[in-house]
């Protein structure tokens, strides 16, 4: 039969495909949000672990966690309003993770709970033995958690999320040269170039305004860090890349707004306005990166460039073509989309984190002006009138180094890092744990434990680092702003170099204090950020 010129056989097939799709979606949703978490929860309950009851409809504890955090924020704001900035409290656990103390009181040292839909997690305690066992794991027993939220932003197979150990090793081998000394010299140069442009503008503004100027630098910091992160990854393709990264920004906001999705394919199946916008932003972002890649390939084909370049994109393009980084050669070649995902992940990992760390450094230097003077003096003694130009010079700046270490202890940009049990038959601290169980760590507690850091753990004291890690803390596994074990941050040396270059240039050009309008409210976004900006009162040292 023919209806409106279409054969019914075709319509029937279409209907059948649609029905299969709907059944698949429902089954997937049931498996991910009901079956798997309940299986994990049953296992843990049988082993004697308790925790807060899950809400009936969402099967998680997100609602009560939200309420608990709102109450904690209110209490924090009340306390801060009374004490002002004269005493910055670094006791952030009651503000950021107030639930842990409550739950521990009710359910014991270790408990299980579901902070978001579809994931049962254990709070196993933030002791270094757990860090060694789980973060230090070199097998596939504990791996990166399955999170559609992160998948959507970075791509599941990208460095940072990839689960397959051979593929992960290949990706680390590929990016490693970028973080070696030779390339780090370029990092120092690029960071310095971008920072000096910014500083000159700021100097002009400050000088024109008279003596000293109160300014919120949070917007400037985000743009500056974004700029040199883009230059590090895309080199001379900076202009075109910047356009694409506007889509990245939009994508992040939209994905947060949507609150995640049970399965990425549902974005296509449910064409709501938000889903369509997410798909559009992701596509535009990918298209932009692909165009830059194509441009490079074209230049090499035409002989305008001898290689794909030594920036991050160039290194990855070369590896994709030559199969570099593969020891066994048994892995499939990277597709164009794989390369796009790698680039997205590296960009994501590099800019929010550095921007957050630089913000906290300026806030703390503006508060502890005695340390600002001490670092300024050290810079003059080491460099004279010059500025940092070599990586080597950073090694002689002890006070600056101590200040950075202490800032990252109390204000780690990524305070919470998660893992998931990926195999059957795994034990955690000698106890069997089921596949699919999430494991939470947070450095807010870990970096403040008095038994590891001493009775002054809640105080900001850079001098605790005077004798290195061993002098500061009783256990080397207790300091992890860059993570721990095989999956430790690939860019940690680069990030530390960038931060030191930024701080040293800023201190050489400005004398500054935290503005009296500053309100101390560390807030979780993609990283931990100052909730009310970075307002400083700035005075230029060298007038333009
Ligand atoms: C202050 C700045 C930074 C901080 C605090 C930081 C922190 C971290 C942490 C805690 C992890 C471990 C995550 C986990 O174990 O699940 C990580 C991983 C990673 N970071 Fe960073 N990061 C910073 C800057 C950078 C920069 C500049 C890059 C360079 C592109 C970078 C690239 C990466 C990559 C690729 C991974 C994944 C490593 C893997 O899974 O093998 N990070 N980072």
Number of domains in the chain: 1
> Could you tell me if residue 420 is inside a domain?
yes
The yes-or-no verdict on residue 499 having pLDDT over 90 is: yes
Percent of the chain scored above 70 by pLDDT?
94
- What pLDDT score was predicted for residue 3? 56
| pLDDT tens figures, 195-229 | 999 999 999 988 887 767 789 999 999 999 998 88
Residue 349 domain-assigned (yes or no)? yes
**Stretch among 71-75, 255-259, 311-315, 343-347 having the lowest mean pLDDT:** 255-259
Residues 107/52, Cβ–Cβ less than 8 Å: yes
In a domain, 27, yes or no: no
168 CA from centroid of ligand 1 (Å): 14
Task: Please give the torsion angle defined by the CA atoms of residues 140, 144, 146 and 152, in that order, rounded to the nearest 10 degrees.
Answer: -130
Report the pLDDT value the prediction gives residue 210, as an integer from 0 to 100. 73
Beta bridge partners of 417: 441
Q: Would you state the pLDDT for residue 321?
A: 85
Atom of ligand 1 nearest to the CA of 345: 35
**If you measure from the C-alpha of residue 161 to the centroid of ligand 1, how many angstroms do you get, rounded to a whole number?**
11
Per-residue pLDDT at 249: 84
Which protein residue's CA is at the shortest distance from atom 9 of ligand 1? 482
Q: How close is the Cα of 15 to the center of ligand 1, in Å?
A: 46
**Sorting pLDDT into bands at 50, 70 and 90, what band is 544?**
very low
Quote the ipTM score.
0.99
Of 379, 449, 371, the closest CA to residue 407 belongs to 371
The residue contributing the CA closest to ligand 1 atom 20 is 489
Assess whether pLDDT exceeds 80 at residue 50.
Answer: yes
Position of tokens 């931060």? 499
* The predicted structure's pLDDT at residue 67: 93
DSSP secondary structure string for all residues of 103-167: HHHHH-SSEEEEEETTEEEEE----HHHIIIIIT--SSSEEPPP-HHHHHHH-TTSTTT---HHH
| Residue 490 alpha carbon to ligand 1 centre in Å | 6
Token pair of 56 as six digits: 């009936």
Distance CA 143, CA 150 (A): 14
Q: Evaluate if residue 51 carries a pLDDT over 70.
A: yes
Q: Are strands 438-442 and 510-514 parallel, antiparallel or unpaired?
A: unpaired
- The kind and range of the H/E element at 439 are strand 438-442
499 CA to middle of ligand 1, Å?
14
Tell which one of 184, 492, 497, 500 to mutate to probe ligand 1, the residue whose CB is within 8 A of the most ligand atoms. Answer: 492
Answer yes or no: is pLDDT of 524 > 80: yes
Q: In this structure, which residue's CA is closest to atom 32 in ligand 1?
A: 491
- In angstroms, the CA 406 to CA 110 distance is 28
pLDDT digits (tens, 9 = 90+) for 410-419: 999 999 889 9
The pLDDT tens digits for 510-523 are 999 999 999 999 99
**Phi, psi for 91 (deg, rounded to 5):** -85, 80
Q: How far is the CA of 34 from the centre of ligand 1 (A)?
A: 32
Distance 506 CA to ligand 1 centre (A): 24
* pLDDT (tens digit per residue) in 362-409: 999 999 999 999 999 999 999 988 888 888 888 899 999 999 999 999
Which atom of ligand 1 is nearest the CA belonging to 480? 10
Q: How far is CA 160 from CA 90, 145, 146, 382, 490, in A?
A: 29, 11, 12, 37, 9
**Residue 498 CA, closest ligand 1 atom number:** 27
Q: Between helices 336-367 and 492-509, what is the axis angle to 10°? A: 40
Residues 272-293 as b or e (16 or more Cβ within 10 Å = b): eebbebbbebbebbbebbbebb
Residue of 340, 251, 335 lying closest to 292 (CA atoms): 340
CA distance 30 to 532: 41
**pLDDT > 70? residue 2:** no
332 phi/psi in degrees, rounded to 5: -65, 150
pLDDT value of position 503: 97
Question: Ligand 1 centroid vs 210 CA: distance in angstroms?
Answer: 41
What is the chain's mean pLDDT, rounded? 88
Q: Whose CA is nearest to atom 40 of ligand 1?
A: 160
Instruction: Compute CA 335 distance to the chain's CA centroid, rounded to the nearest angstrom.
Output: 25
- What is the pLDDT averaged over residues 59-78? 91
Using 50, 70 and 90 to split pLDDT, how confident is the model at 501? very high
Residue nearest to atom 17 of ligand 1 (CA): 489
- pLDDT value of residue 213: 74
The larger pLDDT score, comparing residue 448 to residue 27, is at: 448
Average pLDDT over residues 483-512: 95
Whole-prediction pTM: 0.92
DSSP state letter for 32: I
**Ligand 1: which atom is nearest the Cα of residue 499?**
1
Rounded to whole angstroms, the maximal C-alpha distance in the chain is: 91
Count CA atoms within 13 Å of residue 386 on its CB side: 8
Structure tokens at 294: 């194509």
Distance 3 CA to ligand 1 centre (A): 58
pLDDT tens readout for residues 258-270: 776 666 667 777 7
CA-proximal residue: ligand 1, atom 18 (nearest)? 489
pLDDT at 36 over 70: yes
User: In whole angstroms, what is the distance from residue 107 CA to residue 105 CA?
Assistant: 6
How many other CB atoms sit within 10 Å of the CB of residue 15? 11
Cβ(357)–Cβ(499) under 8 Å?
Answer: yes
CB atoms within 10 A of CB 181: 9
Q: Which tokens is 234 given? A: 């895309």
- Nearest alpha-carbon partner for 500 in 410, 380, 375: 375
Specify the ligand 1 atom closest to the Cα of 347.
30
Q: Are the C-beta atoms of residues 342 and 314 closer than 8 Å to each other?
A: no
Pick the more confident residue, 253 or 50: 50
Q: Atom 29 (ligand 1): residue with closest C-alpha?
A: 491
d(CA 352, CA 495): 11
461-476 pLDDT tens trace: 999 999 999 999 999 8
Rounded-to-integer distance, Cα 41 and Cα 261, Å? 21
* pLDDT number for residue 291: 94
Q: 533: domain range?
A: 1-8+44-540
Q: Is 13 among the domain residues?
A: no
Residue 25 lies in a domain: no
How confident is the model at residue 278, as a pLDDT?
87
Pocket of ligand 1 (CB under 6 A): 159-160, 172, 346, 349-350, 353-354, 357, 412-414, 417, 481-483, 487, 489-491, 494-495
- Residue from 191, 346, 417, 489 to probe ligand 1 pocket by mutation (most atoms less than 8 Å from CB): 489
Residue whose Cα lies nearest atom 16 of ligand 1: it is 417
Alpha-carbon span 113 to 106, nearest angstrom: 12
Residue 33: DSSP 8-state: I
Nearest alpha carbon to residue 396 among 418, 375, 371 = 375
Torsion of CA 316, 320, 322, 326, to 10 degrees: 90
Let me know if residue 39 belongs to a domain.
Answer: no
C-alpha to C-alpha distance for 183 and 416, rounded to whole angstroms? 29
**401 within a domain of the structure (yes/no):** yes
Decide if 38 is inside a domain.
no
- Average the pLDDT over 173-188 and give the result: 80
Looking at residue 166, which CATH number applies to its domain?
A: 1.10.630.10
Pocket test for ligand 1, best of 130, 491, 499 (most atoms within 8 A of CB): 491
Taking CA atoms, 303 is separated from 296, 307, 368, in Å, by: 11, 9, 55
Tell me: is residue 489 an annotated ligand-binding position.
yes
Report which of 366, 374, 500, 414 is spatially closest to residue 88, judged by C-alpha positions. 366
* Cα–Cα distance, 171 to 331 (Å, whole number): 11
Alpha carbon nearest to ligand 1 atom 37, residue:
160
Q: Give, for ligand 1, the residue of 180, 341, 344, 349 to mutate: max count of ligand atoms closer than 8 Å to Cβ.
A: 349
Q: Which atom of ligand 1 is nearest to the CA of 175?
A: 35
| Other CB atoms within 10 Å distance of the CB of residue 371 | 20
Name residues whose C-beta falls within 8 Å of residue 365's C-beta, 6 or more positions apart in sequence.
371, 372, 375, 403, 503, 507, 512
Please provide residue 421's backbone torsions phi and psi, each rounded to the nearest 5 degrees. Answer: -75, 125
User: What tokens were used for 139?
Assistant: 């097998």
Centre of ligand 1 from the C-alpha of residue 322, in Å = 26
CA of 169 to the centre of ligand 1 (A): 15
Cβ atoms 287, 343 nearer than 8 A: no
86 pLDDT more than 60: yes
Q: Please tell me the distance between residue 527's alpha carbon and the centre of ligand 1 in angstroms.
A: 12
Q: How far apart are CA 342 and CA 24, in angstroms?
A: 30
């Amino acid at each position: 039969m023919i209806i409106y010129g279409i054969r019914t056989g075709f319509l029937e097939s279409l209907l059948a495909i649609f029905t299969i799709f709907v059944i698949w979606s429902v089954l997937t949703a049931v498996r991910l949000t009901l079956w798997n978490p309940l299986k994990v929860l049953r296992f843990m309950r049988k082993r004697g672990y308790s925790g807060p009851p899950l809400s009936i409809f969402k099967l998680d504890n997100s609602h009560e966690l939200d309420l608990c955090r709102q109450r904690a924020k209110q209490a924090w704001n009340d306390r801060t309003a009374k004490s002002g900035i004269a005493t910055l409290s670094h006791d952030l656990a009651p503000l950021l993770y107030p639930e842990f103390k409550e739950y521990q009181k009710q359910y014991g040292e270790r408990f299980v709970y579901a902070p978001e839909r579809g994931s049962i997690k254990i709070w196993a305690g933030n002791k270094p033995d757990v860090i060694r066992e789980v973060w230090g794991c070199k097998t596939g027993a504990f791996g990166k958690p399955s999170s559609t939220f992160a998948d959507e932003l970075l791509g599941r197979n990208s460095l940072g999320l990839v689960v397959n150990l051979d593929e992960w090793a290949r990706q680390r081998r590929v990016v490693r040269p970028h973080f070696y000394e030779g390339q780090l010299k370029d990092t120092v140069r690029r960071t310095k170039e971008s920072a000096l442009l910014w500083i000159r503008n700021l100097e002009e503004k400050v000088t024109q305004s008279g003596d000293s100027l109160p300014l919120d630098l949070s917007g400037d910091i985000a743009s500056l860090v974004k700029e040199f992160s883009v230059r590090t990854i895309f080199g001379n393709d900076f202009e075109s890349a910047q356009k694409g990264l506007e889509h990245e920004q939009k994508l992040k906001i939209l994905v947060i707004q949507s609150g995640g999705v049970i399965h990425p394919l549902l974005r296509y199946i449910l064409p709501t306005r938000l889903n369509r916008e997410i798909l559009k932003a992701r596509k535009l972002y990918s298209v932009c990166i692909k165009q830059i890649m194509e441009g490079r390939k074209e230049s090499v084909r035409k002989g305008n460039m001898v290689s794909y370049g030594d920036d991050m994109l160039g290194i990855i393009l070369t590896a994709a073509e030559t199969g570099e980084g593969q020891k066994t050669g048994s892995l499939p070649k990277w597709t164009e989309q794989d390369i796009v995902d790698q680039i997205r992940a590296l960009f994501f990992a590099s800019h929010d984190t550095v921007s957050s760390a630089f913000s906290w450094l300026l806030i703390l230097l503006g508060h502890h002006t005695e340390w600002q003077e001490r670092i300024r003096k050290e810079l003059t003694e080491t460099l004279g009138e010059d500025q940092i130009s070599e990586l080597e010079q950073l090694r002689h700046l002890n006070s600056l180094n101590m200040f950075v270490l202490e800032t990252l202890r109390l204000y780690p940009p990524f305070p919470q890092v998660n893992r998931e049990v990926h195999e059957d038959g795994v034990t955690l601290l000698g106890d069997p744990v089921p596949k699919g169980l999430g494991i939470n760590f947070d450095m807010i507690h870990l970096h403040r434990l008095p038994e590891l850091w001493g009775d002054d753990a809640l105080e900001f004291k850079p001098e605790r680092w005077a004798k290195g890690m061993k002098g500061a803390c009783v256990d080397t596994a207790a300091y992890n702003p860059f993570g721990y074990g095989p999956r430790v941050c690939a860019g940690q040396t680069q990030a530390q170099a960038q931060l030191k270059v930024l701080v040293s240039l800023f201190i050489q050009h400005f004398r500054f204090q935290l503005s009296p309008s500053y309100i101390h409210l560390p807030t979780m976004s993609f990283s931990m950020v100052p909730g009310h900006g970075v307002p400083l009162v700035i005075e230029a040292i060298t007038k333009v």
